[in-house]
């Protein structure tokens, strides 16, 4: 057996880090893994999943002054080979450190120049507009603009509104009328800047892209259909998929790749890191970019179960595996593969024709 790899995974209270952990430890076969988990909350469930994580720690927030001291101590004591940084704010902290110093261990961290631009939906939209890659949109500064004039001069009802920053579904809602807009922005007074966009009724898609040291190495696509706890969100979208499909769609991939190329060219940053590009289709099936995440998302384990273990690909690249084929590969799945996810349950990947339906 080859040397056991010591992997640090942060934010293990969230579903994405636990999904990554299972993808390498339970599905992967590259090496034996010893996993150390961290989180900022003592109630984070991953801290207590002893079958998944060999050791767990509470850490300060990445914005707190003693964060790096604590993290470096953990990395040294646990002899960490590779860190997997998944909460968005922590990715930002590691990205800043990467630019201004040396990381405490190997980690696939995107360049800060790209991160800052990609996470700002306003900047993203403005720079992809000329290429026709985004829906018609308008940024609303709640302090400076007449919101009715700003939206109705560009968009027809219904349209989609959400926070202009961050990668969650914060502030997301389908606006059917001006009265809806007033009510929604009043409820969400904590959001200073919204982005309103043409409502796209088609498929909700994701394309995952793995870049390493200047090159695109792996990609895979999926469709989001239903969401966990959808009833608690006015938009019906919680950002955590309960039912989706693993798909083979080159048009989705090429749209996502083109958007990434534009953003890398804009920033002058090296193509490096893991990204999840979200897209939505119009009535004709044309996909448009809605946002770019600078990390894995929660159903990454489902990709691995379908044969696209992007998590272990990441580990193998960082470990400089000589047997890893770094030529670009767009993963293709068996036709009809779908996945089901829920709170406190392992995901299921199966053929869609095997679903059970009500018998009349």
Q: Give the pLDDT confidence score for residue 2 in this predicted structure.
A: 62
Q: Give the pLDDT confidence score for residue 140 in this predicted structure.
A: 81
The sign of the dihedral angle between the CA atoms of 293, 80, 17, 207 is: positive
Q: Give the pLDDT confidence score for residue 1 in this predicted structure.
A: 43
Residues of the chain with CATH 3.30.470.20: 204-354
Q: How far apart are CA 216 and CA 130, in angstroms?
A: 23
H helix intervals, the chain: 15-22, 67-77, 88-100, 112-118, 121-128, 147-152, 178-187, 250-267, 300-305, 310-318
How many helices (H) does the chain have, and how many strands (E)? 10, 17
Strands 106-107 and 82-84, how do they pair?
parallel
The tens place of each residue's pLDDT in the chain, 360 residues long, gives 468 999 999 999 999 999 999 999 999 999 999 999 999 999 999 999 999 999 999 999 999 999 999 999 999 999 999 999 999 999 999 999 999 989 999 999 999 999 999 988 889 999 999 999 999 998 887 776 678 888 888 899 999 988 877 655 666 788 999 999 888 888 888 787 888 999 999 999 999 999 999 999 999 999 999 887 666 666 666 678 899 999 999 999 999 999 999 999 999 999 999 999 999 999 999 999 999 999 999 999 999 999 999 999 999 999 999 999 999 999 999 999 999 998 888 899 999 999 888 766
CA distances from 360 to 232, 296, 357 (A): 31, 41, 9
Going by the DSSP 8-state scheme, the letter that residue 170 receives in this structure is: T
Q: Give the pLDDT confidence score for residue 107 in this predicted structure.
A: 98
Q: Residue 37: which of 52, 24, 25 has the closest Cα?
A: 52
Residues of the chain with CATH 3.40.50.20: 5-107
Residues of the chain with CATH 3.30.1490.20: 136-198
Please check whether residue 91 is in contact with residue 274, taking contact to mean a CB–CB distance below 8 angstroms. no
Q: What is the CATH number of domain 136-198?
A: 3.30.1490.20
In whole angstroms, what separates CA 197 from the centre of its chain? 20
Please check whether residue 84 is in contact with residue 8, taking contact to mean a CB–CB distance below 8 angstroms. yes
Please check whether residue 293 is in contact with residue 340, taking contact to mean a CB–CB distance below 8 angstroms. no
* Domain 5-107, second-level architecture: 3-Layer(aba) Sandwich (3.40)
Q: Is 5 helix (H, G, I), strand (E, B) or coil?
A: strand
Please check whether residue 217 is in contact with residue 160, taking contact to mean a CB–CB distance below 8 angstroms. no
Q: What is the CATH number of domain 204-354?
A: 3.30.470.20
What global pTM score does this model have? 0.92
Q: Give the pLDDT confidence score for residue 151 in this predicted structure.
A: 87
Instruction: Kindly tell me the burial class for residue 320, based on how many C-beta atoms sit within 10 Å of its own C-beta (0-12, 13-18, 19 or more).
Output: exposed
């Amino acid at each position: 057996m080859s040397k056991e790899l010591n992997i640090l995974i942060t934010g293990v209270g969230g579903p994405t880090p636990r999904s990554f952990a299972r993808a390498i430890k339970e599905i992967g076969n590259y090496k034996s893994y010893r996993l150390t988990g961290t989180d900022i909350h003592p109630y984070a469930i991953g801290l207590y999943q002893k079958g998944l994580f060999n050791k767990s720690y509470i850490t300060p927030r990445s914005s707190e002054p003693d964060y790096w001291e604590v993290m470096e101590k953990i990395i040294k004591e646990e002899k960490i080979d590779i860190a997997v940084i998944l909460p968005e704010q922590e990715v930002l902290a590691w990205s800043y450190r990467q630019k201004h110093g040396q990381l405490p261990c190997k980690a696939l961290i995107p360049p800060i120049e790209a991160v800052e631009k990609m996470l700002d939906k306003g900047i993203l939209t403005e720079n992809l507009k000329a290429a026709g890659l985004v829906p018609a949109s308008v940024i609303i500064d709640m302090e400076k603009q007449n919101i009715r004039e700003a939206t109705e001069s560009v968009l027809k009802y219904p349209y989609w509104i959400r926070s202009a920053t961050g990668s969650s579904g914060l502030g997301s809602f389908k606006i059917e009328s001006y009265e809806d807009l007033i009510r929604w922005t009043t409820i969400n007074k904590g959001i200073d800047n919204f982005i309103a966009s043409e409502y796209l009724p088609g498929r909700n898609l994701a394309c995952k892209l793995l870049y390493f040291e200047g090159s695109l190495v792996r990609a895979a696509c999926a469709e989001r259909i239903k969401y966990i706890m959808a009833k608690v969100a006015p938009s019906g979208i919680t950002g955590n998929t309960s039912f989706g499909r693993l798909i083979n769609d080159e048009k989705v991939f090429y749209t996502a790749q083109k958007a990434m190329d534009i953003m890398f060219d804009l920033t002058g940053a090296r193509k490096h890191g893991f990204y999840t590009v979200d897209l939505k289709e119009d009535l004709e099936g044309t996909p448009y970019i809605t946002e770019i995440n600078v990390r894995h998302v929660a159903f990454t384990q489902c990709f691995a179960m379908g044969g696209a273990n992007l998590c272990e690909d990441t580990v193998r690249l960082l470990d400089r595996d000589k047997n890893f084929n770094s030529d670009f590969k767009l993963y293709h799945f068996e036709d009809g593969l779908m996945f089901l996810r829920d709170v406190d349950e392992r995901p299921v990947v199966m053929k869609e024709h095997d679903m059970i339906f009500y018998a009349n």
